Structure 1
Amino acid sequence: MQTTIYIQNLKCGGCANTITKGLNDIETVKNVHVNVEDSSVTFDYEMDEKLIEVKTKLKSLGYPEYGEANSLGSKAKSYVSCAIGKMS
């Protein structure tokens, strides 16, 4: 199955790089594409449990789904993730 999730705090290619690497680490999640312009992540997955795992991973990186709480902690995590993504 393929889906698109719209996320918060996505600002640049560094963020996209971090998200791509993080999601590619999840078994059976494939074809990850991050669109910085519309703050979305599109990917293929096989089981509904993987969709939940992806959303949890995005939140842990500082990129919660639109509609979820976007705390100061999430914003700070996204800045760190962004910086790491730029260095990778």
Structure 2
Amino acid sequence: MKTTIQIQNLKCGGCANTIITQLSKLKGISDVDVDNNTDEVSFNHNSETEFNLVKQTLSDLGYPMTGESNSLPKKAKSFVSCAVGRMTN
């Protein structure tokens, strides 16, 4: 099932690279795509459990879904994730 969600703290291609890399490692998740213009992440999954795992992973990386808590630590994590993504790009 293809799902698209809107996230917070997405800044650049480095962020997108980190998100694609980390979500693609998750079992049952495929075809990950990030749109920096719309702050959207699209991916295929087979179950609600996999969807929840994606949401949790994004939050842990510093990119919570729009409407969820976006605390200062999450914002800081997104800068770290962004930097890592730029270095591996």
Tell me the CA shift for residue 16 of structure 1: 0.1
Distance 1:80 1:61 in 2: 8
Q: Give the match for residue 20 of structure 2.
A: 20
TM-score, with structure 1 as normaliser: 0.99
SS in structure 1 of the partner of residue 41 of structure 2: strand
Q: Give the match for residue 42 of structure 1.
A: 42
Misfit runs of 4+, over 4 Å = none
TM-score, with structure 2 as normaliser: 0.98
- Residues matched between the structures, number: 88
Tell me the CA shift for residue 28 of structure 1: 1.1
Unaligned runs of 5+ in 2: none
Tell me the CA shift for residue 19 of structure 1: 0.2
Query: 1:73 is matched by which residue type in structure 2?
Result: P
Tell me the CA shift for residue 47 of structure 1: 1.0
Tell me the CA shift for residue 46 of structure 1: 0.8
Percent identity for Structure 1 against Structure 2 = 50
Q: Give the match for residue 83 of structure 1.
A: 83
Q: Deviations over 1:23-80 (max 9, x none)?
A: 0010110000000010000000011100000000000000000000100000000000
